[in-house]
């Protein structure tokens, strides 16, 4: 399983767009990490091994491939996510 995450919020909301390949299929998870668990979450991501997202915070959204345009727009409005992508569009 390959995992990578990127914090793409300009605020300190600790919301991450986490991508994983599970059974040869791309998945995404939008996760709001608990502030007290942020360091442990980032360490778990760096290990590139399986872990339970629920142990670090709340899964706000999940799906296949990548978030659609409507979800990205909602997350941009709520958390300031994907702002760079909007500027490049």
* pLDDT value of residue 81: 83
pTM of the model: 0.77
Beta-strand relationship, 57-64 and 15-22: unpaired
**Residue 21 binned pLDDT confidence (cut-offs 50, 70, 90):** confident
- Locate 60 and state its tokens: 């706000």
Residues 47, 40: Cα–Cα separation, whole Å: 11
> Residue 12 has what pLDDT?
57
| Boundaries of every domain in the chain | 2-84
pLDDT (tens digit, 9 = 90+) per residue, 22-74? 889 999 999 999 889 988 998 998 887 788 999 999 999 999 999 999 999 99
Beta pairing, strands 57-64 & 25-33: antiparallel
What confidence score (pLDDT) does residue 8 get?
47
């Amino acid at each position: 399983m390959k995992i990578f995450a990127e914090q793409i919020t300009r605020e300190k909301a600790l919301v991450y767009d986490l991508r994983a390949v599970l059974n040869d299929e791309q998945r995404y998870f939008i996760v709001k990490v608990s502030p007290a668990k942020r360091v442990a979450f980032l360490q778990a991501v760096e290990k590139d091994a399986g872990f339970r997202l629920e142990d670090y915070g709340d899964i706000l959204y999940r799906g296949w491939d990548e978030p659609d345009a409507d979800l990205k727009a909602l997350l941009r409005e709520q958390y300031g996510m994907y702002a760079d992508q909007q500027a490049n569009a």
